[in-house]
Structure formats: structure tokens, C-alpha cells
Amino acid sequence: MGDLMENTKDILNKAKSGKYAIPQFNINNLEWTRFVLEECEINNSPVILGVSEGAAKYMGGYNVVYAIVTSLIESLKIKIPVCLHLDHGSTFEACKNAIDAGFTSVMIDASKYDLDENIRITKEVVEYARLHDVTVEAEVGHVGGEEDGIAAEVAYAKVEDAVMLYKETNVDLFAPALGSVHGLYKGEPKLDFQRMKEISEKTNIPLVLHGGSGIPDDLIVKAIKSGICKININTELQISWHEAVKDFVKNNENAYDPRKVIKSGEANLKKSVTEKIKLLGSNNKA
């Protein structure tokens, strides 16, 4: 890990004791990364930049992502703590590649397997990550919705499974699936706050809420009170960016310069970033 970025678990442990949450904003390209970094800097908020395997592939690989993020931190003189996180790593190899490229944390998502196999794979990742001082997040139960174009059903995490996985692997962060989904909700999300609290008390590590888009503000606040320290937000930024881009394209049919098209969503995206930071309470925590 270079000097330009922070260890993810350090900023999350601080958030845990301060009772606020750090946003994980997923990034898709150079501009997205710049917009998010600039807006987090203005709000003096630490940030975790989330990169799915699909997004890393789209951007040209883990090394390219690392180069984009660290170059922007340097060139834009970004001072806030920035972490670079592999979102939903599906295999040991994906996590290893991200760690080798310089990511400060990885999520190993072996939640599609049974508990024993989830524990085995998570343990392997934790052992490798420890050698590089990299933070590891694991998932228990299964977050539903659509991620990287693949749809999945929600399976609520069991408290005993979470405790067992934690004891066996010594993982740093937990993403227990407790009713949130990736993408848009049909109706109000049914989050299990009681289980969230119990898992938080029994493991005492920072918890992660996936599917942070579209959850009403009061439920986000309640989740933070129940042990959530990292909230992943992707779809909501994409939608607010797209709203502005749609209007721009409609009113400027002949605008073919990609810089103008992509930039037309900048203000909207940045507005959503600030709203989320304020809701999570991570402003002025850098």
C-alpha cells in the first residue's frame, strides 16, 4: 500500500467509535473518480472508492484503476483519506490481483457457497491480505438485486453463521445480508435491524451495508446506530448523473465531444455525493 492511500479498516474503526459511516462510492471511469474525489475533498470526508470486477475490467485492469486513483490524488492535491476497494471479489485470484495492484481492501464474496466453503475461501484471502496489510470484507447470507448485470435473490444472514465466519477467519469487515438489495427497490426495503445489532455486538467489527441506493434516510440513520460503518452507493449516483446527461443530450443533439456529454452529469453527481456524505455524517471527519 502506498503513502497516498489509507488502510480501509483504520478509517472504519474510527467511524465505528465516532458513530458515523464512510461512503463507498463505486467508480466507473476517470471522470467518475475525479468527480467523487473532488466532492469528498470539499466536504472533508474520507472516502472508499469501490471497484467491481466488471468495472476494473472496463477500466483496463486493476493496475490501471490504481494508477488513475493515485495520479488523481497527487495531481488534484487530495488530502482526505482515500481507500481503494475491490467490491464483490468472486475468487481468491481476483482478490490477489487487486491486492498486488495496490488496493487497500478487498471484499471476498463467497456467499454463493455453503458456510464451510465461504469460510475456507475467506480464510485464504485473509492470510494473503495480512501479508500486505490489506483489509478484508466478507459476506454472509446473500445481498439480492442486480450487480454487474447478474440478478440474485436475498438470503438473510444468520447470526450464528456470521459469528462462526468471524471466529474462523478473523476477517476485518462484515457485510451481513439483512434485506438490502443492489439496484432499485420494489417498495420499502425490509432491513433486519435486530440481527444487525446482534451481529455487531457479537463480532465487534465494522459492518457494511450493501445496496445503499434508495434506502430511506431514516433507515440509513437507524442502520448506522445498529453497527453499520460503511455504506455502498452505486446506482443512485448513476441515476443522478444520467438524469442530467439525458437532458443535455436531448437539448444538444449535435454535441459529439465525449467530454461535454460526460461532464454534463458532473453537477448532479456531485450533489448526490454531498447529500450522502451529510446523511452518513462523514463530513469534516477527514
* Alpha-carbon span 22 to 232, nearest angstrom: 9
Our finding on whether 87 is near ligand 13P (CB under 6 A) is yes
Nearer to ligand 13P, 203 or 235 (CB): 235
Question: Mapping DSSP to helix (H, G, I), strand (E, B) and coil, where does residue 80 land?
Answer: coil
Our finding on whether 26 is near ligand 13P (CB under 6 A) is yes
What residues contact residue 250 under an 8 Å CB cut-off, 6+ apart?
Answer: none
* Alpha-carbon span 24 to 70, nearest angstrom: 17
Our finding on whether 141 is near ligand 13P (CB under 6 A) is no
Site string for ligand 13P, 232-251 (x = CB under 6 A): xxxxx---------------
Q: Grid cell 469534516 — which residue?
A: 284
Closest CB 101 distance from ligand 13P, rounded Å = 19
Nearer to ligand 13P, 58 or 164 (CB): 58
Our finding on whether 203 is near ligand 13P (CB under 6 A) is no
Nearest 5°: phi and psi at 18?
Answer: -85, -5
Catalytic annotation, residues: 87
* Alpha-carbon span 235 to 227, nearest angstrom: 23
Closest CB 208 distance from ligand 13P, rounded Å = 8
C-alpha cell at 171: 476477517
Nearer to ligand 13P, 76 or 105 (CB): 105
Our finding on whether 281 is near ligand 13P (CB under 6 A) is no
- If phi > 0 it is left, if psi is from -120 to 50 it is alpha, else beta; for residue 102 that is left
Our finding on whether 276 is near ligand 13P (CB under 6 A) is no
Nearer to ligand 13P, 39 or 87 (CB): 87
Enumerate residues 32-51 that contact ligand 13P by CB under 6 A.
Answer: 50
Q: Which amino acid is at 240?
A: S
Our finding on whether 139 is near ligand 13P (CB under 6 A) is no
DSSP label at residue 157: P
Question: Mapping DSSP to helix (H, G, I), strand (E, B) and coil, where does residue 10 land?
Answer: helix
- Chain positions contacting ligand 13P, by CB under 6 A: 26, 50, 87, 182-183, 210-213, 232-236
